[in-house]
């Protein structure tokens, strides 16, 4: 609209409490990324009367919760009215929004490993100064050139039978913490750990050669679990 948000809603300057703006608001969030996918699911699941969704594209909801269409169908079959208003995908505003948010692809970033030739999610070992999310951010940057923001947790994978023997003689028992994330910047750049980087659609995953542990993590993501997998 070409107006500053505080010009449209002056109450936002006075207080960040939702009730100060409107008694109908439960909470306010500065950024969409501040709202977890589980919160959207928890809001939509118990709906009985009506669900209204007004968005540019809502791709982020499908990426964070792939069962969104199924959930909306279930609510509609239960008698809940569903209204969804989205922007025209060909309009300049929606295309600009996609560029700004680096969203709208609905695809998953994979790398073809240089050491095995298999496709895998970007990732690597922690350093002493890393937090778990910080490790994910650093490794993705090193291996793909992209800046990311972690937005959720797919699961933990600690099967004691997952032992890897490398060609240089190293043998290790490996565990994985798999995060959801969105791209915030950077440019794709292949590192010496991979031979190819590619954003792939879920439909393409079955044709790619990858370790069964990688496929398990992707399956759990695509299932749109309400809680992270713990294993």
Domains recognised in the chain with CATH numbers: 108-230 (3.90.79.10)
- Could you report the average pLDDT of every consecutive run of 10 residues in the chain (231 residues)? 56 52 68 69 91 74 74 94 82 65 65 93 92 94 92 91 83 89 86 90 88 92 87 89
Handedness of CA 200, 206, 212, 213 (dihedral sign): positive
- What is the reported pLDDT for 20? 56
- Sheet harboring 119-120: ordered strands across? 119-120, 108-113, 194-200
Whole-structure pTM value: 0.55
- Cβ atoms of 110 and 200 within 8 Å: the answer is yes
């Amino acid at each position: 609209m070409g107006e500053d948000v505080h010009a449209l809603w002056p109450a936002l300057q006075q207080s960040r409490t939702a009730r100060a703006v409107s008694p109908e608001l439960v909470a306010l969030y500065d950024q969409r990324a501040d709202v977890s996918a589980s919160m959207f699911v928890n809001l939509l699941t118990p709906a009985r009367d009506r669900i209204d969704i007004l968005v540019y594209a809502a791709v982020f909801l499908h990426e964070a919760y792939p069962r969104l269409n199924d959930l909306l169908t279930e609510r509609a079959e239960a008698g809940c009215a569903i209204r969804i208003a989205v922007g025209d995908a060909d309009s300049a505003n929606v295309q600009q929004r996609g560029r700004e948010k680096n969203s709208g692809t609905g695809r998953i970033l994979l790398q073809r490993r240089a050491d095995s030739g298999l496709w895998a999610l970007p990732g690597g070992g922690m350093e002493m100064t890393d937090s778990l999310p910080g490790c994910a951010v650093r490794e993705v940057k090193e291996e793909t050139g992209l800046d990311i923001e972690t937005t959720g947790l797919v699961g933990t994978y600690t099967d004691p039978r997952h032992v890897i023997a490398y060609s240089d003689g190293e043998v290790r028992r490996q565990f994985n913490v798999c995060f959801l994330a969105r791209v915030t910047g950077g440019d794709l750049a292949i590192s010496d750990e991979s031979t190819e980087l590619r954003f792939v659609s879920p439909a393409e995953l079955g044709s790619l050669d990858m370790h069964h542990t990688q496929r398990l993590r992707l399956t759990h993501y695509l299932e749109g679990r309400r809680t992270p997998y713990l294993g």
